[in-house]
Every structure is written in C-alpha cells, then in structure tokens.
Structure 1
Amino acid sequence: MTTTRFRDSARYWRTPLMPGADLLTAEYHDHTFTPHWHDAYTIPVIEAGAEMYQYRGSRYVAEAGSVPIINPGELHTGSRAMDEGWRYRVLYAPVDYLQQLAEDIAGSTQPLPWFDAGVIRDIDLAQRLSHAHRLLEANSDALAAHAAMLDALSTLLVRYGRTRPDALQEAAGDNRVSVMQDLLSSELAAPVTLAELADAVALSPFHAARLFTRATGLAPHAWRNQIRLQRALAPLRAGVSVTEVAAASGFADQSHFTRHFRRMFGVPPGRWQGA
C-alpha cells in the first residue's frame, strides 16, 4: 500500500480574538527545526503522521491525535518521525493570555501555568483544540470560534496545568548566566566576544561558555541569534521591511537572517510577515 508523503507547506496567521497570538497550519516532510524556543506556549495538535522532537534532554514522538505541548522559553527541536512526515495545527498562546485564563478559572491569583514534559495523549482534548483552531481559521463565526478556543484551553489547563518545578526555576536563576544574557541581548547589532562575557562574570572563556551552554542549552552565539529572531517578530508584524529588520537585529545580511528564521519558524520572514 502506498502512502502520500506530506509536503513542506506552512501558513502562519493571526486573529483579533487572541491578541498577540500566532497560529500555524502546516505539514512537513523535509524540514527540520533546529533547537529553538518560543516566548509563547507552543500548543500543537498532530492531525496526521508523526513528529519527533527533543525536549528537556529526551526524545519524544507525537503521533496523530496527540498534543506535544512546549512551555515558553524552553528549547526543543522538530522533525518527521515517519516516512510520510506530519501535519499539524499550532497555537502560540501568549503567556499573559494563558495565565489570565488560569486565574479566571480559579477565581484567584495563580502561578504561571506549566506543563510536564512528554506527549499528551488525550483524544478529547486534541479534538477540542483542532476544532477551535479550524473555527478561528475559517473566520466565519467569531462567537463560536472564541467560545471553542476558551473551552479547549480551559480543558488543557484544568487537566494538565501544573506549577513550574523549583528545580527548573533554580537552574535558570544563576546570576552569572543572567549577566551574560544581559550583555548578549542589550545591543543586538553590536559585536560581543566570549572574552567579554567571561570577564563580566570573572570566569575563563572556557568555563563561561560551558556554564552558559549548560544553563540554557545553547552556546552563547546561538542563544543570541534566538533573541534576535524573537525580537524581530514585533517589527515584522508592524510592517517593517525584512531588510531593515535583519539589519536592526544584528544579522550580517538578509540571507543570513532568512536562513535562521526559516529554521525556527518553518517559513521565510516575508511569508510569515504576510500573515
């Protein structure tokens, strides 16, 4: 029996019903997502095929009907887990949106929602998320779409929402790492050397690089590129040209920016901006 191979095709789009959110409808076969993170909660629903991804030091496979959620700021990858590839829908939900929803559900102040590593296998939840995503994309009945998304996300929070473990908070709290991150992110177009990072935290370049990579999962230059890409999103949304955004973000040229952007988002910046 022959099976149809998915093609690399992705469409980013947005809706006024969820300000600040990005939504993605896509299928992939050849594309591989290099290690990256998002500032938002990544909430995918696998509709066909299967995706393999690395997350928190482990490898996972998410098959059709599953929800492989990723917390904001956490490093992960993505690639096909079977010959055909995979098709999915993704909601990149802003942190403040999901936290406010958690507080609305509880009727009181709540800590930041957090989700355990691993694939959520809950057909009912997957169907709710997929249904809401399709209604938002159709853009024909705002009332029904908004209600469906609130239903899906509240179901996710009630069934699987947790509090961020203390161990993860402590690992991210090393002051020396914070000092290096501040240096790397303050002037993105200005050159920064490893020696400068090391001097700022009174370490050798070797130990500074090792501490940074152990804490963040990325080498300093790769982490800086991720910050550049995240900060590029706002001006792209505002209609600033890709060339201007690339230069302001500190990339050597537009092709360099486009190459890194596509590895992270699966589409070139011009197409992402067109959403």
Structure 2
Amino acid sequence: MRLKHMQFYGHFDARCDVAGFSIARMVALNPAHQVEPHEHEDGHFIVVLSGLYRSSARGVDTLLEPGGVLWNPPGTRHVDTFAGTGGRFLALSVKADLAQALGLADGGARRLLGATRQAALALAAQPLTSDLGGLLDAEETCQHLCLLTRGGPERGEALWQPGAERGEPLWLRRCMEQLLEECEQPLQLAALARTAGVHPVSMSRAFRRHYGISPGQLQRRAQLNRAAQRLKEGRPIAEVAASLGFADQSHFTRLFRAEYRCTPAAWREGFKTF
C-alpha cells in the first residue's frame, strides 16, 4: 500500500503547510491489526508525543517513548503502531522532490538523536498556526531539522543505518539478510562465514564495524521481533517462546522486556480487540 501526501493512520488534531513541508499533530486511533504494511510517497519525520511507538522499518528497531524521533525517507516500507491505543505524534511530511534536493532521499530510516532530535522537539513545541509569523518560524525550524538530519550520521547524532557506511561488502549484506530470514535456526557462524568465503572472526568484526552489533545480537533482535508479531496474533506466550528456541518462558520474558519495555503478556494484551 502506498499512501499519498499527508496520509497517516490517525486523526488530525491540527495541521499547517509551508514551503514544501506539511506539519500535523495526530492521534493514533487504529488498532495495530488494522495497520497494513505501507510506504509513503513523501518522506516524513515522526515525533512521539505520548504512548509507546514502534516501527518495523529496518534501522529503527527500538521502541520509542515520548520524545523519540525518527526519519523515514520516501518509499520506506514499514508498519508503525502504538502499544495500546491513544498514542499521539507529530508528523512532518517532506515532499519527495524536496527531500531529494535536501539530500534526505537516501540512507534508510533512522532514529534521530542529539541536536537533530532537539530541533524536532522544538518544532513539536511550536503552535500550528496559519499566521505568517508562525509559518515562517515553522519553515525555519523545518529547514534546520532537515540540515541536521542530512549531516546527522557524520556528527554522531543518529543511530546506525543499514548500508549507510560506505564500503559495506555485498557478502556482508547477504549474511545479515540470511540471519534475519533464518533467525529461528541455531546460529551457525562458521557455516555462514564459510558460505561467504571469510573467516568467522573477520565476519564478526565486519558486523560490529558496519552494523554496531554482533551476529548473535542481530539474530536475537530478529527473534524477538518475530515473537512480537506472533504475540500480536494472539498465540500463547509459552508456545511462542518454545517455537523460537528460548530456554524457558522466564528467560524469554526477561529478554522481551529489555527490548520492548513491557512483558509479553502486556504486549499481547495491547493488541486484543473486543
């Protein structure tokens, strides 16, 4: 599903448009099971105002609390949901041609930190007005946010983006994607390295250098993400834990809480419909 300009899953509280940017405060009303995989024709920033927000976009694999900020370039495929209902967020859409001109069309989805995040929070704090003074202030803040976002990774103000660092070997990308796809299988690092034609130690170093985590950590995140999807479908917790190879339910619960900031039971309850 491809969403047009300023189409989001939610209800508009307020909105203004200025110089290629559209800003809206929104309330997420759709239950998670009604949110389909989709992409937007425009790029957009999301600032979480309330609730716990999660996006499936590769590169943003963290539960975002209020004050969390992310950027999705045009065409980013994802499913984004709030745990429970009533989450609120600010959406800043940047038209695709403007995103291209500002150098924001490439690089993948990413969570924003540091000065970039502060600029987004400053925008979220501004009133959405239609008077000229308010629009000029909003435009200036939007331009500043985009400038910081373009320079974010080099300044250390954003988390790792897949493929963002130059020189990512094709064999490494294939290994990463294989780990994600086959995350339910026991990790066979030596076999994976042999298929890629490199030494296991070299593979581990390449994972940390390009992705910031070890192959085992990547696989564990993928397992927990798959567990979250199955819990969303209403499957029993014990069954989900066993199917993904966790030692026991308590071990699974501990790891799930560390990743999602809530227990598996609370997560599943948040997706129930009545």
- TM-score, normalised on structure 2? 0.51
- Kept after mapping to 2: 8 A contact 1:115/1:160: no
**Aligned mates of 1:96, 1:189 — CA distance in 2:** 23
Cα offset, 1:41, TM superposition:
7.6
**Aligned mates of 2:123, 2:253 — CA distance in 1:** 35
- In structure 2, stretches of 5+ residues that fail to align are 1-26, 38-43, 51-56, 81-90, 129-138, 155-160
Aligned to 2:114: 118
Is 246-255 or 102-111 further displaced after alignment?
102-111
**Aligned mates of 2:269, 2:261 — CA distance in 1:** 14
Matches within 5 A, 1:125-204: 125-127=123-125, 159-161=144-146, 162=149, 169-171=164-166, 173-204=168-199
Deviations 1:119-159 (A, max 9, x none): 4334642436xx99xxxxxxxxxxxxxxxxxxxxx998665
C-alpha spacing 1:234/1:172, structure 2 compared with 1 (3 Å): farther
Deviations 1:61-90 (A, max 9, x none): xxxxxxxxxx95168899xxxxxxxx9455
Cα offset, 1:262, TM superposition:
0.8
Aligned partner of 1:271 among 237, 254, 266: 266
- Kept after mapping to 1: 8 A contact 2:63/2:260: no
**Aligned mates of 1:249, 1:156 — CA distance in 2:** 45
- Kept after mapping to 1: 8 A contact 2:96/2:105: no
**Aligned mates of 1:104, 1:194 — CA distance in 2:** 40
Is the aligned partner of 1:103 residue 2:95? yes
Aligned to 1:236: 231
Is 179-188 or 260-269 further displaced after alignment?
179-188
> Matched residue pairs, number?
191
- Kept after mapping to 1: 8 A contact 2:193/2:200: yes
Letter paired with 2:210: A
**Aligned mates of 2:150, 2:100 — CA distance in 1:** 15
Specify the SS of the correspondent of 1:218: coil
Letter paired with 1:225: R
Aligned partner of 1:15 among 1, 24, 29: 29
C-alpha spacing 1:232/1:202, structure 2 compared with 1 (3 Å): same
Letter paired with 1:111: A
Letter paired with 1:73: G
C-alpha spacing 1:73/1:201, structure 2 compared with 1 (3 Å): same
- In structure 1, stretches of 5+ residues that fail to align are 1-12, 22-39, 47-70, 79-86, 133-153
CA RMSD of aligned residues (A): 4.9
**Aligned mates of 1:188, 1:114 — CA distance in 2:** 22
- Kept after mapping to 2: 8 A contact 1:75/1:217: no
Matches within 5 A, 1:42-57: 43-44=47-48
**Aligned mates of 1:114, 1:272 — CA distance in 2:** 23
Specify the SS of the correspondent of 2:235: coil
